[in-house]
A and B are shown apart, each in its own frame.
Chain A
Amino acid sequence: MEENFLNLTQVGAGTEVRVSRLECPPTTCQRLREMGFCENALVRKIRGGADLVCWVCGTRVALSARLAKQILVEHVDGRS
């Protein structure tokens, strides 16, 4: 089912998704989790582009597109 996951850059602005898996180096993964990007956390993409802005755990977090590509997500309604 892995190939069905999207990464965060592939979803449109305004879409709410659930984090499925993080595919970054361990220290980056840990920092992402501590900032709320845990597996199963709900994330809403606010703004797309070269760098993007997400709403997670009640706050706006900016991510570089390179990092966003390493955050695999799925739609909250189960669509992929």
Chain B
Amino acid sequence: MNQDGKRRWVAVVGNPNAGKSTLFNALTGLRQRVGNYPGVTVEKRTGTAFTLHGEAMELIDLPGLYSLNPRSPDEKIAWQVLHGESSGVPRPDAVLCVVDASNLERNLFLVTQVMELGLPVLVALNMVDVAEGRGIRLHPQDLGQKLGVKFIPTQAHRGKGLVELRAALGQTLAHPGPRQWTMPPPLAAAVGQIAAAWRESLPAELRAEGKALELLAGSNSGPEGAKKLAAAWRERFRKEAYDWSAAVVHARYSYLQTMLKEAGIGHGVSGGSWTDWIDAVVLHPVAGWGVLAGMMMALFISIFSIASYPMEWIDAGFSALALRLQGWMPPGILCDLLVDGVLAGVGGVVIFLPQILILFFFLGLLEDSGYLARAAFLLDRVMHPVGLSGKSFIPLLSSYACAIPGIMATRTVEDPKDRLTTILIAPLMSCSARIPVYTTLLAAAVPVALVPVWGKAAAMLGLYVLGTGSAFFLAWVFRKKMFGGGSPPLILELPPYRCPAFRTVALRMWERALIFLRRAGTVILALSILLWFVSSFPRSSGDESINLAGSYAGQLGHWLEPLIRPLGFDWRIGIGLVASFAAREVFVSTMSIVYHVGGEGEGLIQAMRTATWPDGALIYTPLTCLSLMVFYVYALQCLSTVAVAKRETGGWRWPVFMMIYMTGLAYLGAWLVQLVGHALGF
């Protein structure tokens, strides 16, 4: 408990790749209330941890930081939380700094800044096994005494040191000792004056100095007198061409180098490690691309082959449930609602859970193993000509899972134009919600027996390549032609390769499964019931197809048909397009309801294959399926994406632009497929 008798809040901060999120997961387990997304941590998330004596405390996991001088939006989030300026989270009672023991000099740079916040600090000396493997000898007690904070050695991925950490968190954490690094004279004079002007209203001298440095850096919070003094000193330094911010960095590093040298801690060795051996292949200008293509192909093959077994089980489960319900209940509206509405709609989407989990499993492995940063490095060469840096790759890769975390991950991109470009193209990366649509249409287009698994995987890969290629072309248009300016240079840490922490990966998959099922149980359930209603009423006869044609949904579809007929789509597909405006995967459940197939995946595909135009011609020809798939490659059929784009860009202007350009592109793309297909005689 804190001084007010309330539960304590502890912020968890550290450099990227210091194992912060792994430690957070180890301490909180499944007691996390705010879902995180794959890729980098871009949003603060909270979880409950317990001390050894059972005292509950709230941990706040913050995005990785190199310093407390925020530049990118994710760094600003961390800064706001640490200063008590974040909505929904109180100012932390203490800070748990997670440092990579194999890279102390740079990690402790951030710790020296955190120590100036005026909060109690505890340091988790993480990855001590990696440091020892590099020949670095650590003395946590010595380090603690020298720096003025307590160090606890941990190996978060193996769960080691957690007991000691919980015990330390249970004790009253001390405020850090006095500043150890020496300020250069001109800066010391400035900080002394500014701090004196503020000290009266602040409890600790350390914090006054920290605040003085923030004011010099341009912070706006503080008494007017101190702000004026800071502005005057800034102007003076500018006139004297004195780079005070560089001087601060130098002074901190200089102190840390001396301190670590005295403690007998070096940088270890870089050559000859297996990270270097793997990098020789993975970063090779030719072999590296082969590795990347192989990984992507393995991902898509897994999505089709491994996922097919659990998908069949889910399908069989929903079919059995539908049959049982039909056996229990008398025929009528309620039975129809449950079987054709609820089970067909929800079952048609839940069946794709295994594929989505495989996607997140792969993304988790790539991130945790350290490969993701290498892929970003490799792709920088491709992204530079279109005006982006390799840093945009991680948000774009996350968008393959879902555009929402992808757009949120753009907070790590420092350049505002780069960030906006990445947001605008992120929804073009085929997300997991498109998988059900692609899978269904691929199966409807080509009989399973005629195409082997790798053929379907290649076709799927083709759709992903189309989306990605278009995204890159549009990035070039937006970045170079619309926004102007050059692409930012790449600065990216390449962490050493590690065996992925399966617990962390499993936790992310669990979170994702919950989000997906919650969505299936709320949005998709509600839409399914609504769709069942509008596709079942008004009832005109006992014949289902006549009923559907005369229903509200049928009327809307018929109204739309002239508009979508050039794309090869009939009025029933029109219902699917309108219904899936809120979420793409709803297309499949809508088709299940439209064709009254009661949640059976294979049943829907059969119904689609036999669906005909009034003249008896097949609707779902391979050309129409391709046209529909191309439509879904481009269309922004996701209200959640629009909402998050509005939040991240600060208004409606860019989400509306995104919606218009993507819908236009979808229509144009699908129409061109029909045009070229017919010209070629299909």
Contact = CB atoms under 8 A, between A and B. Distances in A.
A61 B285 CA distance: 18
A32 B491 contact: yes
Given A39-B250, A50-B381, A63 B491 contact: yes
B276 A46 contact: yes
A31 B491 contact: yes
A24 B491 CA distance: 13
A4 interface: no
A27 to B, nearest CB: 6
Given A57-B267, A58-B103, A34 B109 contact: yes
A51 to B, nearest CB: 5
Interface in A2-23: none
Contacts of B102: 58
Contacts of B67: 34
Nearest to B104: A58
A30 B103 contact: no
B490 A67 contact: yes
A63 B389 CA distance: 11
In the complex, which range does the number of interface residues on chain B fall in?
A: 35 or more
A30 B105 contact: no
Contacts of B275: 60
Contacts of B103: 57-59
Interface string B382-395: 00100001100000
A63 B381 CA distance: 11
Interface string B196-225: 000000000000000000000000000000
B245 interface: yes
A38 B251 CA distance: 10
A29 B245 CA distance: 10
Contacts of A67: 489-491
A47 B283 contact: yes
Contacts of B270: 44, 46, 55, 60
B494 A57 contact: no
Contacts, number: 109
B71 interface: yes
A31 B285 CA distance: 27
Interface string B265-304: 0011010000110010001010000000000000000000
Q: Which of B69, B384, B489 has the most CB of A within 10 A?
A: B489
B268 A53 contact: no
A62 B106 contact: no
B246 interface: yes
Contacts of B245: 26, 30
A51 B380 contact: yes
A66 B487 CA distance: 10
A57 to B, nearest CB: 4
Nearest to A68: B489
Given A47-B279, A67-B491, A58 B246 contact: no
B127 to A, nearest CB: 12
A51 B208 CA distance: 42
Nearest to A49: B285
Contacts of B246: 29-30, 33, 38-39
Interface residues of A, number: 33
A64 interface: yes
Contact of A53 (B243, B283, B285): B283
Contact of B492 (A32, A38, A61): A61
Interface in B79-114: 102-106, 109
Given A30-B245, A38-B249, A44-B270, A60 B389 contact: no
A80 interface: no
Contact of A30 (B69, B276, B493): B69
A60 B276 CA distance: 10
A36 B106 contact: yes
Nearest to A69: B489
Nearest to A44: B270
A58 B71 contact: no
Contacts of B253: 33, 36, 38, 41
A35 interface: yes
A58 B267 contact: yes
B389 A64 contact: yes
A54 B141 CA distance: 31
B377 interface: yes
Contacts of A58: 102-106, 267-268
Contacts of A63: 489-492
A62 B492 contact: yes
A49 to B, nearest CB: 7
B268 A61 contact: no
A32 B488 CA distance: 13
A66 to B, nearest CB: 5
Given A53-B279, A57-B106, A64 B268 contact: no
B454 to A, nearest CB: 32
B66 interface: yes
A61 B246 CA distance: 20
B466 to A, nearest CB: 26
A53 B384 CA distance: 17
A62 B377 contact: yes
Those 3 A-B pairs whose CB atoms lie nearest each other, nearest first: A67-B489, A58-B267, A64-B490
Interface of A: 24, 26-36, 38-39, 41, 44, 46-47, 49-51, 53, 55, 57-64, 66-67
Given A60-B270, A60-B493, 16 more contacts: A28-B489, A30-B249, A35-B66, A46-B276, A47-B283, A51-B380, A51-B490, A57-B267, A58-B268, A59-B493, A60-B275, A60-B279, A62-B373, A64-B490, A64-B491, A67-B491
13 contacts: A28-B489, A30-B69, A36-B105, A41-B253, A44-B270, A46-B270, A46-B276, A51-B390, A51-B490, A57-B103, A58-B267, A59-B106, A62-B490
